[in-house]
């Protein structure tokens, strides 16, 4: 292909991307809008990122009060260390942004709950620090649908790429016909 043509810079690249799962905890998940779908899609993301060997991070908001991350996710996250936080934004979660910098990550896929609180504040802080942020709309939730909808619109207005779980995984794959493609194709079915 000619060197005159290039891919769009917002397309996710494996060596520059990570997944951040925000606060999908036992005591708050049951009151979320569409919780089963959110869990299903976050599981797809975790499995896909593991197949592609892309870094995964997950946070827990005040686990003493909200409990641990839900069991279905913890099983898949075996070997990944949780990051506990008291701040709503992951900006205040230990040295998470520095970890991204050290790993040369500049594209962050953000999923979890709640869309209008911890997810939105994290996304806005990531954008303020020049990270490209991708939010799979089918892998986030809030208690009320209006909060979810307003958060999606606000994050997009400020520069977040609003996408879906399947779009994220296929962008990272880039090509078909590989073993990784076959494994991820099974996950998204």
Per-residue pLDDT at 108: 98
Per-residue pLDDT at 4: 85
Q: What is the CATH number of domain 14-188?
A: 3.40.50.850
Q: What is the full per-residue pLDDT of the chain (189 aa) written as tens digits?
A: 567 888 899 999 999 999 999 999 999 999 999 999 999 999 999 999 999 999 999 999 988 888 899 999 999 999 898 999 999 999 988 789 999 999 999 999 999 999 999 999 999 999 999 999 999 999 999 999 999 999 999 999 999 999 999 999 999 998 899 999 999 999 998
Residues forming the active site: 23, 85, 118
Phi and psi dihedrals of 141, rounded to 5? Answer: -160, 165
Per-residue pLDDT at 118: 96
| Alpha helices (H) along 21-178 | 35-51, 63-66, 71-76, 96-102, 120-128, 145-157, 165-173
Tokens 């296929």 correspond to what residue? 170
Domain boundaries, the chain: 14-188
Per-residue pLDDT at 18: 98
Task: Identify which of 168, 177, 174 has the alpha carbon closest to the alpha carbon of residue 19.
Answer: 168
Per-residue pLDDT at 1: 54
Residues 32 and 142 sit within 8 Å (Cβ to Cβ): yes
Residues 165 and 41 sit within 8 Å (Cβ to Cβ): yes
Q: What would you report as the CA-atom Rg of the chain, rounded to the nearest whole angstrom? A: 16
Per-residue pLDDT at 2: 62
Residues 32 and 112 sit within 8 Å (Cβ to Cβ): no
Q: Can you tell me the distance from the alpha carbon of 138 to that of 134, in angstroms, rounded to the nearest whole number?
A: 12
What are the structure tokens assigned to 136, written together?
Answer: 């799979």
């Amino acid at each position: 292909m000619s060197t005159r043509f290039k891919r769009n810079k917002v397309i996710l690249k494996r060596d520059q991307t990570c997944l951040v799962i925000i606060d999908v905890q036992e005591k708050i998940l049951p009151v979320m809008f569409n919780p089963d779908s959110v869990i299903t899609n976050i599981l797809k993301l975790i499995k896909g990122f593991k197949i592609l060997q892309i870094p995964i991070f997950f946070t827990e908001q005040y686990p003493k009060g909200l409990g641990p991350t839900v069991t279905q996710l913890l099983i898949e996250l075996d070997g990944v260390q949780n990051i506990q936080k008291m701040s709503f934004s992951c900006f205040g979660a230990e040295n998470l942004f520095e970890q991204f910098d050290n790993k040369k990550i500049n594209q962050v896929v953000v999923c979890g709950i709640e869309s209008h609180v911890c997810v939105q504040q994290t996304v806005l802080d990531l954008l303020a620090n020049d990270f490209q942020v991708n939010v799979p709309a089918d892998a986030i939730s809030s208690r009320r649908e209006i909060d979810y909808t307003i958060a999606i619109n606000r994050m997009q207005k400020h520069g977040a790429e609003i996408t879906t779980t399947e779009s994220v995984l296929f962008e990272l794959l880039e090509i078909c016909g590989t073993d990784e493609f076959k494994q991820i194709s099974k996950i998204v079915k």
